[in-house]
Amino acid sequence: MDQETIVFSNGDFVRYADAKVGLMTHGLQYGTGCFEGIRGFWVPEDNELYLFQLKEHYDRLTTSAKILTMKLPYDTAKLIELTVELCRRNTIKGDVYIRPFICKSAEDVGVRLHDAPELFAIVPVPYAPYVKKPNGLDVAVSAWRRADDTMAPPRAKITGLYINSALAKSQAVADGYDEAIFLSSDGHVSEASAANIFMVRDGALLTPDPSQNVLEGCTRKAILTIAKKNLGMEIIERSVDRGELYAADEIFLTGTALGIVPVASVDRRTVGTGTVGPITTQLRTIYEQCVRNRDANYHHWITKVYA
């Protein structure tokens, strides 16, 4: 992390090097916090940095905080303003990943959500491609089950909940796969470690509905909109069986960090014909246009930094 990067921390723009937290901070010790991951796409021809789905991300952060009985110090409009200001102060002219978060900043012993102050910060980092195999991941259904809403709600992007993702992801990598697919505690397909999952079967687009302990992804929402509006596809949101993964014509993952990434195999069974499917290709192409402000239907998802 570049120590000279300007971050927004507890109400001020300061150098990363000066924005310190104590070793005993609750957010660090107990995972009591929530966060977002937002991307900005630099388009040199336009001399512009396009921030994607800021409203969707900040609305979700507000909901995540509410679930944790925390309150963001600003509304979505102000958070968008601060994020643009942050990018300008850093003169960002390249792809960027922006990490806003709120966490409990008490430094005593005793896990809780009540009676503890909060820290809010926004940190920009240069974007580095998250996935090394954009043309097809080999995934495995994980022995780790997705955390259930009765334990800690996955619909909130909660810091501590990411231990669930980390365990599954590292086990998948240790076993020779690229990514893990969670089943929910009742045995239905949920999502990947940091991405939602979609399947194409007989021309319809199928994805687990929000009650399957998924994070309600902003990219998921974008893809559902694009599939319906641009491709006129039938969308099915319901519980999905593991066996349906093996029977799918196409499978892809969606997430802010990774974008749209095809799945090549599930549990060593080739997906479809073994090549990137036509629906995945079309959706990915349209999405890539959207994020760079090249699709007139979706300008409302874009915030310009320098205009």
Ligand X SMILES: Cc1ncc(COP(=O)(O)O)c(C=O)c1O
Handedness of CA 93, 42, 121, 260 (dihedral sign): negative
- Stretch of residues binding ligand X (CB under 6 A), selected from 82-90, 130-138, 188-196, 232-240: 188-196
From residue 12 to residue 41, the character string flagging contacts with ligand X as x (rule: CB under 6 A) and all else as - is -------------------------x----
Residues of this chain, 133-172, that bind ligand X according to CB under 6 A: 165
Q: Which is nearer to ligand X, 6 or 188 (CB)?
A: 188
- Stretch of residues binding ligand X (CB under 6 A), selected from 25-33, 240-248, 251-259, 278-286: 251-259
Minimal distance in Å, beta carbon 154 to ligand X?
Answer: 7
Question: Which pair of structure tokens corresponds to residue 269?
Answer: 């069974």
- Stretch of residues binding ligand X (CB under 6 A), selected from 44-52, 172-180, 191-199, 239-247: 191-199
Q: Are 262 and 276 in contact (CB under 8 A)?
A: yes
Selected catalytic residue, list 55, 104, 157, 221: 157
Under the binding rule (CB under 6 A), the answer on residue 218 touching ligand X is yes
Q: Is 20 one of the annotated active-site residues of the chain?
A: no
Q: Are 118 and 103 in contact (CB under 8 A)?
A: yes
Under the binding rule (CB under 6 A), the answer on residue 217 touching ligand X is yes
- Residues that contact ligand X, how many (by CB under 6 A): 14
- Stretch of residues binding ligand X (CB under 6 A), selected from 85-93, 133-141, 210-218, 260-268: 210-218
208, 255, 262, 272: residue in contact with ligand X (rule CB under 6 A): 255
Q: Which residues bind ligand X (CB under 6 A)?
A: 37, 165, 191, 194-196, 215, 217-220, 254-256
The residues that are catalytic are 157
